Amino acid sequence: MKPHLSKEAVEQAASEIYLMPFFPSSDIQARAMLMRYFFDLCHTDEQVIWLGKRYVTLFPKWAGLRELRAVASAKFKPRDGIEVYSETYIDGIPSEKIVPTVMLPASRSEPRQLTESPEMRQLVQDLALATTMPEPRRPRTISEIEAEIYKRHPVKGA
């Protein structure tokens, strides 16, 4: 049984892209070309709907048909067999997986454990206690600055 790609799914995916900045959505030929391109790329309704959503997630504005093909190529072999790489994402299309971010302590008032190793924790604590920062200097007053200037460059005849 051959995979099915419906016109309705292609229209749904294309409508996601029609709303993107810089897509010539008022040009009927551009709209038809985009729909034709979806038929060239995708085998199934699931692929075309995924591609439309993924493209608008990756690109804040219309980036062209080549980038659309690059997104498809990163996930599946295009129906017409033509695979390309992204010129925007030169290291490859970003993963769909959410990468957890490392949270560091917000302040010293909220100590958090940054390592499981008790030896490393003790080493960091000892280093923090042994390290001192210089006291901040008090800002000088204008009269102190003037006195220093006159001391270095005395005024003749005064």
Q: Mind listing the pLDDT tens digit for each residue in 77-130?
A: 999 999 999 999 999 999 998 766 655 555 555 555 666 778 888 888 888 888
pTM above 0.75, yes or no: no
Give 16-63 pLDDT, tens digit per residue: 999 999 999 999 999 999 999 999 999 999 999 999 999 999 999 999
Q: What is the DSSP letter of 49?
A: H
Instruction: Say how many CA atoms lie within 13 Å of 86 toward its Cβ.
Output: 19
Smallest CA-to-CA distance from 58 within 70, 47, 48, 49 is with: 70
CB within 8 Å of 60: residues ≥ 6 apart: 21
Give the number of other Cβ atoms within 10 Å of residue 35's Cβ: 16
Domain borders along the chain are: 7-75
Say what the pLDDT of residue 104 is: 57
Q: Which pLDDT score, from 0 to 100, does residue 126 have?
A: 84
Once rounded to an integer, what is the mean pLDDT over residues 1-23? 91
Q: Report helix, strand or coil for 58.
A: helix
Q: Identify the band that residue 158 occupies on the pLDDT scale cut at 50, 70 and 90.
A: low
pLDDT at 113: 61
Query: What letter represents residue 94's amino acid?
Result: P
